Structure 1
Amino acid sequence: MAIQAIQSTGYQFRRILTYFPQDISLAFAYGSGVFRQSGTAHGSVGNNMLDFVFAVDDPVMWHSMNVKQNPAHYSFLRFLGPKNITSVQNDYGAGVYYNTMVPCDGKVIKYGVVSTDTLVEDLLHWKTLYIAGRLHKPVKILMQKENGPLRAALNANLKSALTAAFLMLPESFTEEELYLQIAGLSYSGDFRMIIGEDKAKVMNIVGPNVPHFQKLYGNMLTECPQAVYKAPQGRVEVDKSPEGQFLQLMALPKTLQQRITNLVDIPGKNRDVEEMLLQVAHDPDCGSVVQLGVQSIVKTSSLSQSAKGILTAGFKKTISYTSKKMYKMARSLRRKKP
């Protein structure tokens, strides 16, 4: 039923794209408006606000066309011109410019605009984990131009998520536990999980969507030399020896490696990254150190991006959007009470 809902709304998603400048290298829809989540009413997929991300090669040109085409989507920042809008996009927060609570084709949508170069950097290195983290989970790809580096970066991002999850899990675990760990990466350290988000959000995402996660990660699990994937039993076993963990640590994105080494570095020692990662690989708390490294990336980017959102959305929309998030969180807490 959920798959039919996604297929039936796919046409509408693509129709929404026609309201925007078409110079887009990657467009995808994500979130509860696309994939059913536990705790939402039956048949509510497609009734929630629809979330999109557009990656564009030339943000100045794209915003220039979009301000002319859709001026009401922007806050007062539209009066500063496309160059300044792009500066706000690139120089602050996570490199994404969001317009939120926008009426479009009979729906209410939110869309983020990111430079293709910024997206590729985040996918490869996890500089902010903001869009890369969204792409750890199932999304609905609406448009993807042939771009070799972008395609490779999208694949590398999924492999990195798998590797990070391996390091944080025990030697043997269920497939669902793996997907819970992966889905939780981009929420780890996000202050919005304390104020404004459903506390069971990660479980709600994974529970109804295990088949979609399997489509993303099934082949990688089968081909991974450091994992034994027992698909019929839905279980995975990984190499937790120091040697195995060291190989996994060395395969992590650059920014995460740096955050990990910052946590264990002793001032004045001047040790290189490889030496410090070898130390972490032998640490019984290796997984916890990796978790702290991920948290430090997400905490920084989520705070700065949310602060930028007040400018890009405008004060009224910010209050309205935040109020709806708080209501969803309160409703989730009430559901949990006996």
Structure 2
Amino acid sequence: MVDLIFVAENPLSWHTANIERNPKHYSFLRYMGSKAATTVQNFGAAKIYFNTLVPVNNAVIKYGVVSRESFIEDLLDWNSLYVSGRLHKPVLVLQNYDDGDIKMALEQNLYSALHASLLLLPESFTEERLCHTLASLSYRGDFRMKFGEDRSKVSNIVKCQMEHFRSLYEPVIKRLDQWVDVDFLSGKAEQDVSPSAKLYHLNLLPKTLQMGMLEEWSCDGKCHDLEDILRAAAYDTECGDLVNAEIEKIVNQSSWSQSIKGVLTAGIFKSIKYSAMKVSKMMKSLNKT
């Protein structure tokens, strides 16, 4: 199934026109009108509305609608890692348009993904492992990865798209050559894992991730400064585990809210069919393993 994302300047107007043009794409919510669809879209962290199992030209697609504002916010801050996580992987842009804010947010999202991934990786690693880490960020903490998703999903994404990952991240890696060195000919990579390097990456993580770390360190009831927390984390031998835990929290929250929303946007029958397809794919993967 092909996944599509539409960024809409005005989701209410978008749903109004789409319900009129393609009413069968929607669940029972179409009878409640575009305001109801927009309200459901804004529910939860991801703020995206999906129509799934839609037949188009002898293919089956799933398409999501997100507002421009929510799209940019997730790219910059990782509020949900739902849309931003998809864009850590290579995608095909169907329509380019001159929007400086979106271009900047898309680029910043790649930098954030690289900073986070380097904090999760050891001093020496391979290019393939780097790509696997980048691709896996948005699946960490997703309850569906335990049951309902293909266990080889991330590996499958990476193996068939190594060249696309390289073209996407090579410019970003070269701009961070002070901290990481990737030999694209041999596929071997090394990075600076000193506290100063870790602090550099921590300072450039998205806001939601940083605030999660601050909240975790403030569980003792004391008031902590973000700068002090990040410095302490940089010297902590378990720095990568701390970052991973916060990523998992973000993804877990958005995966649950989006799954609940999916029952409304897809309807009961489509939800059951879609879930059955996922489970079937997971079982086939387990049998191969």
TM-score by length of 2: 0.97
In structure 1, the residue matched to 2:250 is 297
Q: Map 1:120-131 to 2 at 5 A.
A: 120-131=72-83
In structure 2, how many angstroms separate the alpha carbons of the residues matched to 1:172 and 1:163? Answer: 15
Q: Which one has more relative contact order, counting CA pairs under 8 Å at least 6 apart? A: 2
1:244 aligns with 2:189: no
Alpha-carbon deviations, 1:118-152, whole Å to 9, x = none?
Answer: 00000000000001000000111111221000010
1:282 aligns with 2:235: yes
The one-letter code of the counterpart of 1:178 is: L
The one-letter code of the counterpart of 1:316 is: F
Q: SS at 2:122's partner residue? A: coil
Q: SS at 2:287's partner residue? A: helix
Alpha-carbon deviations, 1:4-32, whole Å to 9, x = none?
Answer: xxxxxxxxxxxxxxxxxxxxxxxxxxxxx
In structure 2, how many angstroms separate the alpha carbons of the residues matched to 1:202 and 1:77? Answer: 33
Alpha-carbon deviations, 1:89-108, whole Å to 9, x = none?
Answer: 01335101000011112211
- The one of 40, 55, 61 aligned to 1:88: 40
In structure 1, how many angstroms separate the alpha carbons of the residues matched to 2:184 and 2:154? Answer: 22
In structure 2, the residue matched to 1:229 is 182
Note the C-alpha offset of 1:292: 0.5
In structure 1, the residue matched to 2:69 is 117
Residue pair 1:125, 1:254 contacting (<8 A) in 2 also: yes
In structure 1, the residue matched to 2:263 is 310
In structure 2, how many angstroms separate the alpha carbons of the residues matched to 1:285 and 1:262? Answer: 17
In structure 1, the residue matched to 2:90 is 138
RMSD: 1.0
- The one of 174, 179, 200 aligned to 2:152: 200
Alpha-carbon deviations, 1:197-248, whole Å to 9, x = none?
Answer: 0111111111121101001001111121321222222222222111110111
Q: How many residues align?
A: 288
Q: SS at 2:98's partner residue? A: coil
1:334 aligns with 2:287: yes
Structure 2 residue runs without a partner (length 5+): none
In structure 1, the residue matched to 2:106 is 154
- The one of 278, 283, 286 aligned to 1:325: 278
In structure 1, the residue matched to 2:218 is 265
Residue pair 2:75, 2:105 contacting (<8 A) in 1 also: yes
The one-letter code of the counterpart of 1:128 is: S
In structure 2, the residue matched to 1:163 is 115
Residue pair 1:174, 1:235 contacting (<8 A) in 2 also: yes
In structure 2, how many angstroms separate the alpha carbons of the residues matched to 1:136 and 1:170? Answer: 20
Structure 1 residue runs without a partner (length 5+): 1-48
Residue pair 1:165, 1:182 contacting (<8 A) in 2 also: yes
TM-score by length of 1: 0.83
In structure 1, the residue matched to 2:52 is 100
The one-letter code of the counterpart of 2:232 is: Q
Alpha-carbon deviations, 1:65-87, whole Å to 9, x = none?
Answer: 00000001000111111122111
Distance 1:245 1:234, change over 3 A: same
Q: SS at 1:91's partner residue? A: coil
Q: SS at 1:53's partner residue? A: strand
In structure 2, how many angstroms separate the alpha carbons of the residues matched to 1:125 and 1:79? Answer: 35
In structure 2, the residue matched to 1:174 is 126
Alpha-carbon deviations, 1:249-269, whole Å to 9, x = none?
Answer: 000000011112223334222
Q: Percent identity?
A: 46
